[in-house]
Structure formats: C-alpha cells, structure tokens
Amino acid sequence: MTQQEAIAYFLPLIESNGKIYEKFTEIDARPAIAGEVIVTITGDGKETTNTAKEGDVVVRNLTTARELYILSGSKLAARYKPVAGSNNAEGWKRYKATGECQGLQYNGSNIVFEASWGENMVLKTGDMICTPLPNKAEIYRIAAKEFTETYRLK
C-alpha cells in the first residue's frame, strides 16, 4: 500500500472515528548526517528504516525502547520547542513536544504500507494509525506501547 493509498484508506476512518492526542513527552534530537541510515526499532521490533537528507535530524524518543527516527528540520521546528540548556557532549539537545495528531487504534491484520519517506512501515493490530494536525498530509503508525508512553487524549 503506497502512502497515497494509505491516506485515501485511513484518513476517512481517522476523521470519522479518531480522537485528538497530544504528545506530552520530551525528545532528544541531533543533526543527522546526510546519507545516515536510521532503523526504527520499537518494543515490538523493527518498524521502518529511513535515510537522512541534508537538514534532517535524528530523534530519540524517551520511551522504554528509546527508538530513533528521522524528521526534517522543518517538522522538528513545527512539532517541538528546544529546552534551554539541554545540549550534551554527544550533540543531543532536548526538545519539548508541542505536536498533535488524530488517530485511532488499528484492529485489523498486520500490514505494511509505505511511509511518507518512501520506506515500508509495519502496522500491527493494537497500534495507533495517525495523521499529524493540522495538515493531515501523511499517515503513520505509532506502536501501541510507545503511544501510551508518549501521547495522551487531548
């Protein structure tokens, strides 16, 4: 399933049955190296892979899994605010989440769909299928355990 097919299929379901959630946690982020490959591994295994482009950042969630993923610099700026004085020796900086998503719990068979960056993303029963607010321009999965560790109903 392509990202466009995922949007066409899941967005109407999310809009009609989904709830609005806010990310309430902090994250660590550092500048990515163009061409750097990040494998996102959640508590239930490999979720996806992404290759950094110039201007991207590597994000580390402060969950039990400490999963890594890539965001564009513009998405980081739109969804997170820097925490003053939080730089560390390894180049990580702490950010407070400000983003929201609309989503619903997925209860179908495990499937794979194309993420917005063109790589496969697994979706398992019990996971959250989400779209960012306000633009709803993409569909992504948040693993069930990591969702409960980072998001709350708004």
Give the model's pLDDT for residue 84: 81
Per-residue pLDDT of the chain (154 residues; tens, 9 = 90+): 999 999 999 999 999 999 999 999 999 999 999 999 999 999 999 999 999 999 999 999 999 999 999 999 999 999 999 998 777 778 899 999 998 999 999 999 999 999 999 999 999 999 999 999 999 999 999 999 999 999 999 9
With H, G, I as helix, E, B as strand and everything else as coil, classify residue 120: strand
Query: Hey, what are 77's tokens?
Result: 């700026």
* Domain ranges, ordered by start, for the chain: 3-153
Helices (H), the chain: 3-17, 73-79, 144-150
Q: How far apart are CA 56 and CA 70, in angstroms?
A: 7
**What is the signed CA dihedral for 143, 18, 75, 37, rounded to 10 degrees?**
30
pTM of the model: 0.90
Nearest CA to 59 out of 79, 43, 85, 89 is that of 79
Question: Which contacts (CB < 8 Å, 24+ apart) does range 86-95 have?
Answer: 90/30, 91/30, 91/31, 92/28, 92/29, 92/30, 92/60, 93/28, 93/29, 93/30, 94/26, 94/27, 94/28, 95/26, 95/27, 95/28, 95/29
Give the model's pLDDT for residue 85: 75
Give the model's pLDDT for residue 91: 87
Give the model's pLDDT for residue 88: 76
